[in-house]
Structure 1
Amino acid sequence: MVGARDTASVLAARADARAQGSNVSDWMPYLPAASSPFAPEGVDPSALVWAETVAPGGYTHKVVARGTRLRLEDVTGDACAHVLVFNALEPWERLNVADTQKIPWQAYLGAGHPLLSGEGRVLATVVADTSAHHDAFCGTSSDEWNVVKYGDAAPQGPSPSGRALLTLAGVKHGLTPRDLPPSVSFFQGVRVEDDGALAWQGSAGPGTYVDLVAEMPLIVLVANVPHPLDPRTDYVVGPLRVHAWRGDPSGPADEHYSASPERERAYLNTTDYLEARGL
């Protein structure tokens, strides 16, 4: 057979495996991260700690240090990054979407918006946003939803659900499905109409990005799948570019830190928690 691979012996299998080592894909991490051909403008590539292009219908995950700046970029205008963050020190502390909307008195995500846990602490902050098309209402897609809409939801299939992919990502960090709360999503906007209906607004177009700063050590889970309210009948989603680099957590000099008494208290709670652990 033309192109058949010889793995009939240990030596042949080793040679075959090594022969695959030079293969590359559009959907893979760049190792080392400094080798990324898409390093954000103004960022020293040597400072990168994570660089990856996530496939349409793919997922990724990483543990990042406090102060890490994480950029998510919508390359084509069709990405939809469904994101969960957990306290890497104690993963039972996780994103709480209700508090993320309540504490800033703002349901729509944008620059300066803190992502809060149920403990009144800030897990991460949105510090830059060129998209303004996001959602903190709907969460990600479920298996049941995708089976009805696309006919399949298997994570290895043509139309994986966000829930299935976040579950796979979470397992890598000892998390079970019951540990996964509702997620937030970036690059596909949702707004609430006057009658309370949720209206999908789509993307802001290609080339937009969102920057998050990790306010504590984080487990980050990302699924790149269509938004549940996307009215298109086909499974449409574009590549998602991810870069992260060393930086500093928010502090009193940052405008968003004390934008309201509630936000300042949340940041102070975070600092108090971390300083007691020597961080």
Structure 2
Amino acid sequence: MDGRKLALGDVGRAREDARARAASSEWMPYLPPASAPFAPDEVDPAALRWAETVAPGGYTHLRVARGTRIRLIDPTGDASASVVVLNAVEPWERINVADTQKIPWQAYLGAGHPLLSGDGRVLATIVADTSGRHDAFCGTTSDAWNERKYGDALPEGPSPSGHGLLRLAAAKHGLTSRDLPPAISFFQGVRAEADGSLAWQGSAGPGAHVDLRAELPLIVLVANVPHALDPRDDYVVGPLRVVAWTERPTGEDDDVFHASPERERAYRNTVAYAELAGL
């Protein structure tokens, strides 16, 4: 009997501790999303479908419907969001960084830029951008890179790698490392120099945001880790905020749809796929 009482007491203390941690932690989704303290001014909080603060060195993931608008926010100027998006219906279709640069004839990400798959479809569109400091060249950090620079890359350690966190996020959707293409990065800019080298530009400062519009149902994977070219010796990264709400996918009445012949074909490919699949 004494052992049973002790066991019940241990369970009670564990329950109290877990609930206290949940109540005090800011590194988790807000449920309901309307309870988040950082809803965009132009959005009714009741319309939010996702609201979360991602810890420095943390990750998040979610499936979103076609037409969802996802806002990434850098509150301190030190967030660095490594992002992978995949077709939630057929996850083997995923972002292709080369086509994302080639089809718009633009290597630098910004408002109006489509994020393309290797199948010639637009997975998402950047519909707003107050940062202008992004990267589609370097991908995210690897385990080997972080071990060499920081001495550790374990997801639960002090300096997790971007790829390690994206592997964890992908596993939540039945995906493996083989399903992960090179990521794109938001809030820490990189530019190509005349000699072909890549120069880190850092962030645009606190408060910048970038909005993505899901053109298909998506699996969204995000790792918030220092950029690979960040010259600082320490593992420096700030919190990342994510909010999402329902809108509509890009249509023929949007300027980006007709921005170039190549983009129009990509959007038409996307619309045809979605309509045939009943999405």
Q: TM-score, normalised by structure 2?
A: 0.96
1:19 deviation in Å? 5.3
- Secondary structure of 1:42's aligned partner: coil
- The RMSD of aligned alpha carbons is 1.4
Find the aligned partners of 2:134 and 2:44 in 1 and give their Cα distance.
28
| Residue matched to 1:3 | none
Partner of 1:60: 60
Q: Percent identity?
A: 71
Shift of 1:198: 0.3
Q: CA offset at residue 15 of structure 1? A: 5.7
By how many angstroms is 1:49 displaced?
Answer: 0.7
1:139 paired residue number: 139
| Structure 1 range deviating more: 248-257 or 7-16 | 7-16
Q: Does 1:205 align with 2:205?
A: yes
1:172 maps to what in 2?
172
Matched, 1:37 2:37: yes
**Equivalent residue, structure 2, for 1:95:** 95
Matches of 2:77 and 2:200, distance apart in 1? 15
Per the alignment, residue 15 of structure 2 pairs with 17
Q: Superposed, which structure 2 residues align to 1:104-253 within 5 Å?
A: 104-253=104-253
2:77 corresponding residue in structure 1: 77
Q: Residue 264 of structure 1 corresponds to which residue in structure 2?
A: 264
Supply the distance in 1 between the matched residues of 2:244 and 2:6 (Cα, whole angstroms): 42
What do the CA deviations read for 1:180-207 (whole angstroms, capped 9, x no partner)?
A: 0000000000000001000000000000
In 1, Cα distance between the equivalents of 2:34 and 2:19? Answer: 19
* TM-score, with length taken from structure 1: 0.96
Indicate the residue corresponding to 1:4 in structure 2.
Answer: none
Whole-Å Cα distance in 2 between the matches of residues 201 and 149 of structure 1? 19
Question: 1:213 is matched by which residue type in structure 2?
Answer: R
Mapped to 2, the partners of 1:191 and 1:48 lie a distance apart of: 34
Query: What count of residue pairs does the alignment treat as equivalent?
Result: 274
**CA distance in 2: counterparts of 1:156 and 1:15, whole angstroms:** 24
Runs of 4+ in structure 1 off by over 6 angstroms are: none
Q: Which amino acid aligns with 1:16?
A: A
In the TM superposition, what whole-angstrom CA distance separates every residue of 1:216-261 from its partner, at most 9, and x where no partner exists?
A: 0000000000000000000000000000001111111111111000
Superposed displacement of residue 77, structure 1: 0.3
